[in-house]
Structure 1
């Protein structure tokens, strides 16, 4: 799973959110490192809907514009959990190797 997809699903793991809120949430989660552009986000949302990972929660009109809220589906929740487990496992391997490197005196300044 690519990082933007993981971050969008993570943003939607809490309460349903509309697109701009997802953009802001991703920026907050990554301390501004990842800034999704609107076109990229909406293409991803359409793809994730097509894959059955998210669905429309509700729609409302705000200042004459349609605001669509999205939420995770059960499948989306499972896929996000699997990816979270995978990333955690990879991080554990990296941590072990770094600790072993320092323990064996292989670290360089």
Structure 2
């Protein structure tokens, strides 16, 4: 099944592609992945993670209590890896198409 993934979802899944991360780790990693252009708020992140869990793209990999608070780590599921790879290929294809057309226009100008 092919679908266009929104940017925050793509970046969250990309963050988890390296391995399990807890919420704060995802927030800091996504800021790094986007050069600081995307700064997820905790509420936005956890709402997205809940939706991604329901969709079967991520799952909780561990839970621990740190300073009296529950810390969950999340990981990609097999389906999540597959959908991320599909979206990355779709985006790469679109970028390559645009670059080809830009080069053609410059050469033909």
Confirm or deny a common fold (TM above 0.5).
yes
Q: CA deviation at 1:48?
A: 0.1
> Which residue does the alignment assign to 2:90?
86
Structure 2 residue ranges without an equivalent (≥5) = none
> Which residue does the alignment assign to 1:14?
18
- What secondary structure does 2:61 align onto? strand
> Which residue does the alignment assign to 2:74?
70
TM-score by length of 1: 0.95
Counterpart Cα distance in 1 of 2:82 and 2:99: 26
Counterpart Cα distance in 2 of 1:39 and 1:104: 49
> Which residue does the alignment assign to 1:49?
53
- What secondary structure does 2:36 align onto? coil
Counterpart Cα distance in 1 of 2:34 and 2:13: 14
Counterpart Cα distance in 2 of 1:41 and 1:59: 17
| Deviation sequence 1:10-65 (CA, Å, 0-9, x none) | 00011100011101000000110111111110000000000000000000111111
Structure 1 residue ranges without an equivalent (≥5) = none
CA RMSD of aligned residues (A): 0.5
Q: Give the aligned length.
A: 105
Structure possessing the higher radius of gyration over alpha carbons: 1
Whether 1:36 and 2:25 are equivalent positions in the alignment is: no
Alignment counterpart, residue 103 of structure 1, candidates 85, 88, 107: 107
